[in-house]
Structure 1
Amino acid sequence: MAGAVFGDTSSSTDGAVRTEPLRYLNLFRLVLAGLFLVAGRSLQLGSDSPILFVGAAFTYLAAVLILGFPDAARLMGTNRLVTVQVLVDITLLTLIMWASGGYRSGIPTLILVALAGAGLVGQSRMVLFYAAYASVAALLENGFRFLSGRESVDFFTVGITCIGFFAIAQVARLLAQRAIANEDLARQRGTDLANQLRLNRQIIQDMQDGVLVVGEGGVIRQFNPQAIALLGPGLRDGGTLKECAPALERELQRRDELGSSAHSVRADSSGMMLLARFLPAGEANETLIYLEDFGRIHRQIQQVKLAALGRLTASIAHEIRNPLASVSQAAELLMDEKRSEMQARLIRIIGNNAQRIDRLVGDVLALGRRDEALPETLPLAAFVEEFLEEFSVADAGVDRGIVVSAVRPDLEISMDRAHLRQILWNLVGNARRHCSGQPGAVKISAELLDDGRVALDVSDDGSGIPESLRGQVFEPFFTTHSKGTGLGLYIARELAEANGAVLELCGHAPSALPGAHFRIIGHVKP
């Protein structure tokens, strides 16, 4: 029963109680009380006063049982309970020592054990009080024994024992404090280590590179989700590289033969071109493999090149615009004069090509303005109607009914007004060029998606985009139009991304026209 006390095993600073040692100390008290009752007389205890000895032993057993219940700690408080237990120990052991012949009975040794246990359990300065109480009790017991004429020992011997009480109590207290400090440090380091392992695991899971740990014989120990994406779904824990990724296993063998740490390899399952780096992993004869997608590396290099090209072309475009304006103005002045038909034709050629160059310059300059997005909430239906009016005027008065709007009046989108206008201008312009020219040949529609975003669709009834070209439509300078710049769709996608939106080429939805189908997916609120 006494061993069931105190379920909490926590420890804290000086003055707190360590409950795990207290459980064992209570067990020791219980065994000791039982030993007094069962074998006390065999151990020559209680020889001077058998009745007092038996009464003290029964009282000690009852105190151990009562103070050992969990309710005692809840009612009295743990610190107060320890104090009561220690005082009961010293008092009853002193009475048993009186009844058993005094100092020579060996009971002072048990008092030393009780003080040592109190020091390990409590650690507070109260242990000095316990030692003082035990010293006073031992001195009084020997004093009464001396005054009553019973056999006693000299007070110097008892004094040495009392000094031992203080020494044992203080040493036990210091050892307990040191143990608590070590426990707290170990617990803190364990927590830090667990947090670090959890963080490392999360980083590895979210890495853009694939990571594998391969043991001896090519056995796969660990891998992250990106490794599955790069090598294919056949990758499994406990399998071998030869089964799951033969090409990677061959490169690992080549690494062992040639000593090189980086190799290019084509994944057997996914067909992707990868850069594999092999590094030793610890002392367990394991190999750490990093896998990088060559396609992603190529896209990053392309982005850097495009950024440099954009800065260069923007600076050149600014320089081109000034003389280009002069050429266009000169062509307009020449048109006002009476010229021959041949001269007028040449002037029109000059004007048309000057406008073409001006559009190209405008597209190039738009690349530099993608980071200047000022999103606002736009009512889609009103915005599209306003855009179509402007587009029909600019399209040389072509029938307004070719491009129709089917946008619900309650839908809104968060985008920069000028950016959305330029995106629609590119999409509708391309659709107008490739459609049949019949009424309703180009359709602008919108819908609210399940995730709360808005999708704005532009579709036409033309021949559509061939499957072989669908992966190139957003590449810069790619065009199938003889007079196109190849920057329209690329700039449209860049402007969409600058507004937190997505521009994508979709398949043929049931509600869309049979030609090309582009979709802008944006947020409702900024």
Structure 2
Amino acid sequence: MTLAPSTFEPFSETHWKSLRYFNLYRFALASLLFFSALLYPAALPIAASGQGAQYLALAGVYLASTAVAVLMAYRYRQHATMQLTVSVLLDVLVMTLLIHAGGGLGSGLGSMLLVTLAGAGLVGQGRLVLFYAAMATLAVLFEHSYRALQDNFDAAGFFHAGLFSAGFFAVAVSARLLARRVIANEVLARQRGIDLNNQTVISQRVIEEMQDGVVVLRRDGRVRQSNPRARQLLGLDGGSEQLLTAYSPELAMAFVDWCRHGSDQAVLVRVPASGLQLRARFAATASSESDVLVFLEDMGRLQEQAQQLKLAALGRLTANIAHEIRNPLSAISHAGELLHEERRGEMHDRLLRIMHDNTRRLERIVSDVLELGRRDRIYPEAIDLREALPLLVEEYLAKEQLPAEVVRVDLSGVAVLDFDRAHFHQVLGN
């Protein structure tokens, strides 16, 4: 069985508090001894004997030393182990002198040493508690040996002193082991408190950042807590203990129905203030007050998300179809170029030209479809319309073989446009 390592850890706030309580006990005991001898000397045989003056002086010195120890424990928060050691050794000295003046261990004053060692075992660290018990044992044995040399030798008295010495070690070790267990539990409780606080902060942050509303309801339908999204959906003003019926009667009725039947199915409700349609789901909690969690989802946002998913799936399908079309289209275009080299007549050339034009049109359609999936690749730049539009019109007229008077350009308004150049040509070309 080991008490602690030989090195001492710095005193925690709990240790300092225990040291202050220990010194307050010593001060109360010293005050009792001093004022009892001063005010009621007949009640104490030691004070009433011829050694009353010496006893009163000893009690006064002991009272003054305990007062200094109390002040140091409150004001001078350094060298706590030294303060405790000096206090215990002083108690051992004073109690031994009182035991000797009172006629030995038979006076009953030895039990006060047991209390002192118990307190020192609760406050002290490491093997110091064994040192305190050893000093008390040596003091008691020395006092009894000195008394035996002066008076008749008493073997029973030595046996009595041995029992007290064993009690000193037993009390000191037991108190130290108890203190270690208490300190370990305190450290564990403090760490659990820190972990719980961290978990609470993280959970609170997650709930606040959720896109869904979360409301904590009491069984009477009052709102205990809510996150910002729930307050936005229901129009709550942020106060606590609000009645749910004041903001959404349909949701309040759904809550009452859930309390009766306990269904896990979500219900659709409408908020009168905003007109939003919400999907509400209730869940019981394991709290001591049986609170209920309400999860609120905006149906408009859910429908928008579903629409986005459909569009994304449609875009992927379209891109796949375009890729599948491009491969045979390339083969047709290549075959047309091979036929164009044979030159079999005007009708043959006319049919090849029709095939070539439609192949190019299909290629452009496929390219446009594939370009729709690259909307994120946009590089806006300043386009001067006075320079870009005439070139684009000229290219279009030459491509479609149209006369110049078909297209008229008016640049009297805005002349510079911030736009992606490739998309600019595509939009105007379409």
Indicate the TM-score class for this superposition, using the shorter chain for normalisation: 0.7 to 0.9
Contact 1:48–1:99 (8 Å) recurs in 2? no
Q: Tell me what 1:195 maps to.
A: 198
Equivalent residues, number: 392
Q: Does residue 264 of structure 2 align to residue 265 of structure 1?
A: no
Whole-Å separation in 1 of the counterparts to 2:24 and 2:70: 9
For 1:154, what is the secondary structure of its paired residue? helix
Residue-by-residue CA offset, 1:95-152 (whole Å, 9 max, x unaligned): 1222222212222111111100100011321110111100110111111122223897
Q: Does residue 417 of structure 2 align to residue 444 of structure 1?
A: yes
392 and 96 in structure 1: CA distance in 2 versus 1, 3 angstrom threshold = farther
Q: What are the residue-to-residue correspondences of 1:43-82 with 2, within 5 Å? A: 43-46=44-47, 47=49, 49-70=51-72, 74=76, 77-82=79-84
230 and 362 in structure 1: CA distance in 2 versus 1, 3 angstrom threshold = farther
349 and 218 in structure 1: CA distance in 2 versus 1, 3 angstrom threshold = farther
129 and 391 in structure 1: CA distance in 2 versus 1, 3 angstrom threshold = farther
Whole-Å separation in 2 of the counterparts to 1:178 and 1:213: 39
Q: Tell me what 1:280 maps to.
A: 284
Q: What are the residue-to-residue correspondences of 1:485-496 with 2, within 5 Å? A: none
Q: Does residue 114 of structure 2 align to residue 127 of structure 1?
A: no
Q: Tell me what 1:95 maps to.
A: 97
Residue-by-residue CA offset, 1:370-391 (whole Å, 9 max, x unaligned): 67x6x9xx9x7xx535999667
254 and 159 in structure 1: CA distance in 2 versus 1, 3 angstrom threshold = closer
Q: Tell me what 1:157 maps to.
A: 160
Residue-by-residue CA offset, 1:183-227 (whole Å, 9 max, x unaligned): 111111111111111211111111111111222332211111111
Instruction: Please identify, of 387-396 and 146-155, the stretch whose mean Cα deviation from structure 2 is larger.
Output: 387-396
Contact 1:73–1:81 (8 Å) recurs in 2? no
Contact 2:384–2:417 (8 Å) recurs in 1? no
Whole-Å separation in 2 of the counterparts to 1:201 and 1:226: 13
Q: Does residue 188 of structure 2 align to residue 185 of structure 1?
A: yes
For residue 76 of structure 1, report the CA deviation from its aligned partner.
6.0
Residue-by-residue CA offset, 1:239-271 (whole Å, 9 max, x unaligned): 222111122223334445665431122222222
Q: Does residue 222 of structure 2 align to residue 225 of structure 1?
A: no
Contact 1:220–1:239 (8 Å) recurs in 2? yes
1:301 to 306, 312, 336: 306
Opposite residue 273 of structure 1, the aligned amino acid is Q
201 and 129 in structure 1: CA distance in 2 versus 1, 3 angstrom threshold = same
115 and 255 in structure 1: CA distance in 2 versus 1, 3 angstrom threshold = closer
Contact 1:214–1:288 (8 Å) recurs in 2? yes
Whole-Å separation in 2 of the counterparts to 1:32 and 1:218: 59
2:317 to 312, 316, 336: 312
Contact 2:385–2:415 (8 Å) recurs in 1? no
Whole-Å separation in 1 of the counterparts to 2:414 and 2:360: 27
- 5+ residue gaps, structure 1, are 1-12, 400-434, 446-455, 459-480, 485-526
Q: Tell me what 2:401 maps to.
A: none
Whole-Å separation in 1 of the counterparts to 2:195 and 2:128: 34
Whole-Å separation in 1 of the counterparts to 2:161 and 2:215: 72
Q: What are the residue-to-residue correspondences of 1:246-395 with 2, within 5 Å? A: 246-256=249-259, 260-261=263-264, 262-282=266-286, 284-325=289-330, 330=336, 351=357, 357-366=362-371, 368-369=373-374, 383-385=381-383, 393-395=391-393
Contact 1:15–1:124 (8 Å) recurs in 2? no
Whole-Å separation in 1 of the counterparts to 2:229 and 2:282: 17
Whole-Å separation in 1 of the counterparts to 2:99 and 2:240: 69
Q: Does residue 158 of structure 2 align to residue 168 of structure 1?
A: no
Contact 1:234–1:244 (8 Å) recurs in 2? no
Whole-Å separation in 1 of the counterparts to 2:197 and 2:368: 53
- 5+ residue gaps, structure 2, are 1-6, 398-407, 422-426
2:242 to 239, 242, 251: 239
Whole-Å separation in 2 of the counterparts to 1:389 and 1:48: 125
Residue-by-residue CA offset, 1:351-401 (whole Å, 9 max, x unaligned): 3x6555434422432355567x6x9xx9x7xx53599966753443589xx
224 and 53 in structure 1: CA distance in 2 versus 1, 3 angstrom threshold = same
Q: Tell me what 2:34 maps to.
A: 37
2:145 to 143, 146, 149: 143
For 2:254, what is the secondary structure of its paired residue? helix
Contact 2:20–2:73 (8 Å) recurs in 1? no
Residue-by-residue CA offset, 1:145-172 (whole Å, 9 max, x unaligned): 2222389761111110011001000000
C-alpha RMSD of the superposition: 3.9
Query: Normalized per residue, which structure has more helix?
Result: 2
1:205 to 205, 208, 217: 208
Contact 1:15–1:125 (8 Å) recurs in 2? no
Instruction: Please identify, of 271-280 and 359-368, the stretch whose mean Cα deviation from structure 2 is larger.
Output: 359-368
Whole-Å separation in 2 of the counterparts to 1:272 and 1:125: 71
- Give the TM-score normalised by the residue count of structure 2: 0.78
- Give the TM-score normalised by the residue count of structure 1: 0.65
Q: Tell me what 1:417 maps to.
A: none
For residue 337 of structure 1, report the CA deviation from its aligned partner.
11
For residue 92 of structure 1, report the CA deviation from its aligned partner.
1.4
For residue 29 of structure 1, report the CA deviation from its aligned partner.
0.8
Whole-Å separation in 2 of the counterparts to 1:436 and 1:393: 11
For 2:45, what is the secondary structure of its paired residue? coil
Contact 1:248–1:265 (8 Å) recurs in 2? yes
Q: Tell me what 2:21 maps to.
A: 24
Instruction: Please identify, of 281-290 and 20-29, the stretch whose mean Cα deviation from structure 2 is larger.
Output: 281-290
Q: What are the residue-to-residue correspondences of 1:381-420 with 2, within 5 Å? A: 383-385=381-383, 393-396=391-394
For 2:25, what is the secondary structure of its paired residue? helix
Opposite residue 309 of structure 1, the aligned amino acid is L
358 and 137 in structure 1: CA distance in 2 versus 1, 3 angstrom threshold = same
Opposite residue 161 of structure 1, the aligned amino acid is F
For residue 273 of structure 1, report the CA deviation from its aligned partner.
2.3
For 1:216, what is the secondary structure of its paired residue? coil
Q: What are the residue-to-residue correspondences of 1:418-437 with 2, within 5 Å? A: 437=410
Structure (1 or 2) with the larger CA radius of gyration: 2
Whole-Å separation in 1 of the counterparts to 2:126 and 2:239: 57
Contact 2:281–2:296 (8 Å) recurs in 1? yes
2:112 to 110, 123, 137: 110
For residue 305 of structure 1, report the CA deviation from its aligned partner.
2.9
